[in-house]
Amino acid sequence: MSADTLFNDRRRRQKVDSSRRLPPSNVARGLGGMFSDVISLGELQLKLLKRDTTETIERTYVSAAILLAGVLVLLACLPVGMFAAVHLLHETLDTSIAMSFAIVVAASFSVGVMVTAIGFIKLKKAGNSFRRSQSEFSKNVDWLKQTLKRR
């Protein structure tokens, strides 16, 4: 055997060995498909997040308007309505001025607190729409972990 033949045989063996080290085409296709699925899931996740953000903003407007209405009722009741109610109580029920003021303040404060509480509760619930996005994202991450474990 000549040196050229030995050299060529060695090169052929190296080519065969290196081709065996390359991943099979099935693995490459499987990884490509998995990455395509991951990109699709990411796109769907972003669409869901966008929709949830839009819904949350819409709910926030209504809740903020109700909260603002409650605060305005509290503020509007204080100066004008209280004096009128105090005068009416004092004249009709023959109560003292102090007792008339106490009754009017307690009633106005109660109504204002109730309206403000309703607005606050609605505003707090407005952010719950992101739970759907969070749930779907967790499911997608779990799916991706399971898929990667299988491969």
Length of the chain: 151
Provide the pLDDT for residue 88. 92
What phi-psi label fits residue 86: left (phi over 0), alpha (psi between -120 and 50 degrees) or beta? alpha
Provide the pLDDT for residue 91. 92
- Band of the pLDDT at 39, cuts 50, 70, 90? confident
pLDDT in tens, 61-101: 888 889 999 988 888 877 887 898 899 999 999 899 999 98
| Residue pair 29/107 in contact by the 8 Å Cβ criterion | no
Per-domain boundaries in the chain: 33-94, 97-150
- Band of the pLDDT at 4, cuts 50, 70, 90? low
- Band of the pLDDT at 117, cuts 50, 70, 90? very high
For tokens 């307690």, name the residue.
106
List, in order, residues 6 or more apart from 70 with CB less than 8 Å away.
Answer: 112, 115, 116, 117, 118, 119
